[in-house]
């Protein structure tokens, strides 16, 4: 195979007669240089809009289940509804399934150590290794504009987006963090909250692009107080981020990104406009 990132399969979904066709979904294999394990491959789901590129690239990063067995059981990550909404707005959308999740290769590499003495900073950078590999591969695609990259992420994926943006990344223009964080062991309990807040500041110290942080008032992983303290640490260190505490959503606001697309899109669209991205094309 000439390229390490091989096309596995593709589906084309068409709307009703006369309606605008939806995005095309493909899956590629992307190589990741894993410390101590050599090169492993991860699955990356890609949604392509209609028309001729180059298109900006949006990368959506998934969370990490509290139960270890669910990392594999949850399968390949797609975020289909969210990805198609972004594709309608002119993005090529990539959803990496990181090492140790679904059918991606390699062992889970995002552990943060003990609950008493967690290293959230290093854990996020390990997630970022996979994210950066996916971005590097997509940038080779002639339909991708390498100078317009947007990072999004939910929960541990939001934390991965912060970590990725804390290191130089050519073409990155913005980050949207949905309920980002690590270390939630059960509702209302985060392992060493002070360390999580501190490590958010470490990312902020080297971040250079605008960010939008969205947390629901009834988030059962990261409370409004934890979100506020992380944001204060991040911005005090030099990061540029706007925090928006949204109304309660469902039984657990942590599911806002996954289940409440119509709720968060009105918050996201002005931010996209500020970054210079076009509005939705119906």
Its CATH architecture, for the domain 7-274, is 3-Layer(aba) Sandwich (3.40)
pLDDT of residue 2: 37
Q: Is the pLDDT of residue 133 over 60?
A: yes
CA dist 198 and 233 (Å) reads 7
Of 16-25, 134-143, 166-175, 202-211, which range is least confident?
16-25
Q: 112-121, 168-177, 272-281: lowest mean pLDDT where?
A: 272-281
| Sign of the torsion formed by the C-alpha atoms of 220, 63, 61 and 164 | positive
Could you report the per-residue pLDDT of 53-101, keeping only the tens digit for each? 899 999 999 999 999 999 999 999 999 999 999 999 999 999 999 999 9
pLDDT at 279: 64
Cis omega (within 30 of 0) on the bond before 54?
yes
CA dist., res. 224 & res. 118, Å (int): 21
The pLDDT of residue 47 is above 50: yes
- Report how far residue 160's alpha carbon sits from residue 164's, in angstroms, rounded to the nearest whole number: 6
Residue 14, pLDDT > 60, answer no
- What contacts 8, CB < 8 A, 6 or more positions away? 26, 27, 28, 29, 43
Span 249-267, pLDDT tens digits: 999 999 999 999 999 999 9
Q: Is 251 helix (H, G, I), strand (E, B) or coil?
A: coil
Q: What is the pTM (predicted TM-score) of this model?
A: 0.91
What mean pLDDT value characterizes the chain?
92
| pLDDT digits 0-9 by tens, 186-216 | 998 999 999 999 999 999 999 999 999 999 9
Where does 61-100 have alpha helices with state H? 70-73, 80-88
**Residue 281 pLDDT exceeds 80:** no
């Amino acid at each position: 195979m000439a390229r390490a990132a091989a096309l596995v399969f593709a589906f084309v979904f068409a709307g009703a007669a006369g309606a605008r066709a939806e995005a095309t979904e493909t899956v590629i294999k992307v190589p990741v240089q894993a410390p101590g394990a050599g090169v492993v491959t991860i699955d990356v789901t890609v949604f392509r809009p209609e028309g001729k590129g180059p298109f900006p690239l949006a990368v959506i990063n998934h969370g990490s289940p509290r139960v270890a067995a669910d990392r594999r059981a949850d399968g390949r990550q797609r975020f289909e509804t969210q990805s198609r909404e972004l594709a309608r707005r002119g993005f090529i959308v990539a959803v990496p399934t990181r090492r140790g999740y679904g059918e991606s290769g390699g062992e889970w590499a995002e552990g943060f150590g003990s609950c008493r003495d967690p290293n959230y900073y290093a854990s996020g950078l390990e997630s970022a290794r996979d994210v950066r590999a996916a971005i590097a591969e997509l940038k080779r695609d002639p339909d991708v504009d390498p100078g317009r990259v947007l990072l999004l992420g939910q929960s541990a994926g939001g934390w991965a987006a912060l970590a990725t943006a804390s290191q130089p990344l050519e073409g990155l223009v913005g980050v949207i963090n949905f309920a980002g964080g690590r270390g939630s062991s059960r509702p209302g309990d985060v392992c060493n909250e002070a360390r999580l807040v501190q490590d958010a500041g470490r990312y902020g110290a080297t971040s250079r692009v605008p960010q939008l942080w969205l947390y629901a008032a009834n988030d059962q992983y990261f409370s409004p107080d934890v979100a506020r303290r992380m944001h204060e640490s991040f911005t005090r260190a030099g990061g540029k981020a706007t925090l928006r505490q949204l109304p309660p959503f469902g039984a657990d606001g942590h599911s806002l990104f996954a289940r409440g697309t119509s709720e968060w899109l009105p918050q996201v669209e002005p931010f996209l406009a500020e970054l210079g991205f076009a509005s939705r094309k119906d």
